Amino acid sequence: MVGSVGNDGLMELGAAAGNGVGKGARPMEEQPPARREVVLGRNVHTASFAVKEPEADDDETGEREAAMASVLALYRRSLVERTKHHLGYPYNLDFDYGALSRLQHFSINNLGDPFIESNYGVHSRQFEVGVLDWFARLWELEKNEYWGYITNCGTEGNLHGILVGREVFPDGILYASLESHYSVFKAARMYRMECVKVDTLISGEIDCADFQRNLLLNRDKPAIINVNIGTTVKGAVDDLDMVIKTLEESGFKDRFYIHCDGALFGLMIPFVKKAPKVTFKKPIGSVSVSGHKFVGCPMPCGVQITRLEHINALSSNVEYLASRDATIMGSRNGHAPIFLWYTLNRKGYRGFQKEVQKCLRNAHYLKDRLREAGIGAMLNELSSTVVFERPKDEEFVRRWQLACEGSIAHVVVMPNVTIDKLDYFLNELAEKRAAWYDQDGMCQPPCIAGDVGQENCACILHKNNLGCFCKDWNV
Amino acid sequence: MVGSVGNDGLMELGAAAGNGVGKGARPMEEQPPARREVVLGRNVHTASFAVKEPEADDDETGEREAAMASVLALYRRSLVERTKHHLGYPYNLDFDYGALSRLQHFSINNLGDPFIESNYGVHSRQFEVGVLDWFARLWELEKNEYWGYITNCGTEGNLHGILVGREVFPDGILYASLESHYSVFKAARMYRMECVKVDTLISGEIDCADFQRNLLLNRDKPAIINVNIGTTVKGAVDDLDMVIKTLEESGFKDRFYIHCDGALFGLMIPFVKKAPKVTFKKPIGSVSVSGHKFVGCPMPCGVQITRLEHINALSSNVEYLASRDATIMGSRNGHAPIFLWYTLNRKGYRGFQKEVQKCLRNAHYLKDRLREAGIGAMLNELSSTVVFERPKDEEFVRRWQLACEGSIAHVVVMPNVTIDKLDYFLNELAEKRAAWYDQDGMCQPPCIAGDVGQENCACILHKNNLGCFCKDWNV
């Protein structure tokens, strides 16, 4: 018996997995109208699986092994359920790495620089460099002009890109739109950089007029800019060409460094016909993208590509590794590169293109169906992130694992999100919603015009505008 | 056919896996006597497995799948060989997570705070918190007084601990001994902190006299100290009590923050009888330890434990996660906590104690056998890291994946390093060494007295000292 890893623990796991709002969460009605407090998830401490000291006779009775196996089997069942009801995060949950399962027995570690072998032989640099080459080609940087590595997540990519920017321009100011990922502002704080938050348009894109105003207030210092290739909440793609033009027109020629945060969309945008190109032929310094998002991977990972010239200044040799230190982390997961290598080889550019098109098509379907049902919704032209009115019930939000901010929620349509799944979700939402909002008009859906524009809002004030859009359905 | 992932690639993999000194490496004889250049590993770019666009008919012919399977099978074979000949890095390569293999199909992500559930349901916080509780108990911090998380590696733990220190004392100076891990100095650079490097004793421990001299030069600023619980190269354990005493005697009472870097030894020291205790009952701020080192794990990971009071100041809520941001990374590997949970439950305190004792015993065996063979060697009392004369041949260094610095190399005796393995290594070393150094005395082993002390050196000048030690053998 593994103590609290018994029935109680498992019941709590069920609860943790989405049945109800727990400690720390606060129903929306209680929130002050002026400044809404963030609704935090439940505190996990009470539901954890304690580690218990084995009894002396455990090896003989086999009881502990059996109890652990039972915890793991129930946990696996909850993962199946949670994977099925997932819509809110940009993770492709559809992958099959069965062919790689035998590698799990090895402690694979790419510590140090991907291009310089360390003395530790159990590594996967051959795969890592193959993957990096693929991405460098995608973003048009020559083999002998790029440097990069496979990171632990999108945040590490941003931390690295912004650090490179700061090392290139030590007194540079970091500019990032208000809708940038939180890791960008974390970087500014960690690195003790001056940081200017730039306004966004209603779409979520950076407002280049406000950007210019801020640049002109700080002419004396170089600019380090985080450009979002798909914002976290609205999937908005900052206009890279306009950002560069704004910099040049404001007198910053050769005094700027651009990091492109392409967490999800960095890998989708090359396959979207009308999209502006992310390429090192433009004066950008680095691009990062997540590996567990569009590609899909059991654990978070990411790809960071930058110009080699910047890295030579940044890095230092680490003798006992016989390698170089230019990464944020030290030891690095050697399994992630093999997962990525495997998927890239199987799908190729053509495979990704097909998947991107399917995602965009399904995202349009979702937005149209939401509007048809009288629910305010927005979909940026280049994105598969559908923003809509936040469901009233936190239980529903948790069940579908929707990411929420203020009065809006979003669904990110990933390759594993099928029309069937969307229909299942839409039907459940319509049914629940009928109960949330009564017919006599006493309880109304929230106005989301401030978040997505009047033309995308279906509240009582704006729903006539939305009416026109409903006609688009079936186009 | 996957292009260069054919036979050539595989031959190169063989080469990369340790047969010979490649590009970038430089034999010792060529080194300038004054300042030795770091010997870097070979450049991997030429040996990588390229990702190739699939042919249109690949699905029908199955050729690509077959080529990939062949690459993976050969790669796996090289991992078996490399795992077998590994001695230099503190990784326990002996684990069996077969029971967890079915979880590899899930994208498990503990994004955000471990204690506050995010909306993403496919997580493993229940396991993570169980593991954290175990470590908090090990280091004697109450459940309601600690905060922590499972990191990607030891570096992330150091980055976090030092960041917490800086946020507690924004104008604090970072003190770290010269033999601290390179991530400590990377942190200082990243965080724009003033950093003072403190001398070490010959054992590798921090020299508290030099520490005090430096403190007295900087009385006006608080002190943030990195204390090594096992240095990377010599396995030296800084004297925590002496560090605290030095701080207090130098007038820094209540104006210091101590981070303990326990990468490898943080998990061994609690089980070594005579070792000084690492505990939060002493005025320390944080402890970090690696998970892939003593515990053993397929991918790097670590545990970071700190005082809750510090974190409340540092963190900020992230609404779209419904969680809190107090970690360095954003998305976090959810598999690592399950691996740790599994091993901790199976082994327990008693199991670790046995393994620690075995490692220390085997380390003594190695040191004694080396000395018996006339090879200079040192073993710190509390450590399983045996430091000895650097083998002359880089090929031998690569074959056994020894970590080297200057004229010394080390073997870290981990639970998977048996007496048989050590004998195999020792016999090979003795045989090779006879060829490296001729009997007529023209070519002599290097003097390592500067690294490990005269009493541990076996060079022509000092070998008479070592002679006395040889008598110890068989004790």
To the nearest whole Å, the CA of A434 is away from the closest chain B CA by 24
The secondary structure of A248-277 as a DSSP string is HHTT-TTSEEEEEE-TTGGGTGGG-TTSPP
Given CB atoms, is A346 within the 8 Å cutoff of chain B?
yes
Instruction: Give yes or no for B50 touching A (CB within 8 A).
Output: yes
Q: Which are the catalytic amino acids of A? A: 383
Cβ-contact A337, A299 below 8 angstroms: no
Residues sharing a CB contact under 8 Å with residue A123, sequence separation 6 or more, in sequence order:
A108, A109, A110, A111, A117, A334
Q: What ipTM was reported for this prediction? A: 0.89
Q: Is A322 in Cβ contact with B38 (below 8 Å)? A: yes
Q: Which of chain B's residues have a Cβ under 8 Å away from the Cβ of A13?
A: 126
Rounded CA gap, A54 and A438, in Å? 56
DSSP state of B59: H
Q: Chain B residue with minimal CA distance to A338? A: B72
Please return the burial class of B441, using the count of CB atoms within 10 Å of its CB with bins 0-12, 13-18 and 19+.
exposed
Find the length of chain B: 475
Give the mean pLDDT per block of 10 residues along chain A (475 residues).
32 29 33 51 76 84 90 96 94 93 95 89 96 96 95 96 95 98 94 97 98 98 98 96 98 97 93 91 98 95 95 72 81 97 94 96 98 96 95 94 94 96 97 86 87 93 63 33
- CB contact (8 A) between residue B45 and residue A115: yes
Model pLDDT for residues B120-177, shown as the tens digit of each residue: 999 999 999 999 999 999 999 999 999 999 999 999 999 999 999 999 999 999 999 9
Question: Mind giving me the DSSP string for A400-419?
Answer: TT-EEETTEEEEE--TT--H
Q: To which H or E segment does residue B422 belong? A: helix B419-436
Amino acid at A327: T
pLDDT, tens only, A265-323:
999 999 998 888 999 999 999 999 999 999 999 999 999 999 999 987 677 666 766 66
Residue type, A189: R
Active site residue: B177, B290, B383, B384, which one? Answer: B383
Q: What token pair was written down for B119?
A: 């909306």
Q: Are strands B385-389 and B377-379 parallel, antiparallel or unpaired?
A: antiparallel
- 3-class DSSP state for residue B365? helix
Give the bridge partners for A405, in sequence order. A408
Determine the pLDDT at residue B182: 93
Q: Which residue has the tokens 């994208």?
A: B107
- The percent of residues above 70 in pLDDT, for chain A, comes to 85
B40/A350 touch (CB, cutoff 8 Å), yes or no: no
pTM of the model: 0.89
Q: Please tell me the distance in Å from A249's CA to the nearest CA on chain B.
A: 31
Task: Give the ranges where A52-124 is alpha helix by DSSP (H).
Answer: 58-61, 63-84
Q: How many residues does chain A have?
A: 475
For B195-247, write each residue's pLDDT tens digit.
999 999 999 999 999 999 999 999 999 999 999 999 999 999 999 999 999 99
Pick the closest to residue B202 from B456, B10, B409 (CA basis): B456
Asked whether the beta carbons of residue A331 and residue B154 sit closer than 8 angstroms, the reply is: yes
Interchain pair A44, B126: CB under 8 A: yes
pLDDT tens for each residue of chain B, 475 residues long: 333 333 332 222 222 233 332 333 333 333 334 445 566 666 767 688 999 888 888 777 888 889 999 999 999 999 999 999 999 999 999 999 999 999 999 999 999 899 988 889 999 999 999 999 999 999 999 999 999 999 999 999 999 999 999 999 999 999 999 999 999 999 999 999 999 999 999 999 999 999 999 999 999 999 999 999 999 999 999 999 999 999 999 999 999 999 999 998 999 999 998 888 999 999 999 999 999 999 999 999 999 999 999 987 677 666 766 667 899 999 999 999 999 999 999 999 999 999 999 999 999 999 999 999 999 999 999 899 999 999 999 999 999 999 999 999 999 999 999 999 999 999 999 999 999 987 666 788 999 999 999 999 999 899 876 544 433 333 2
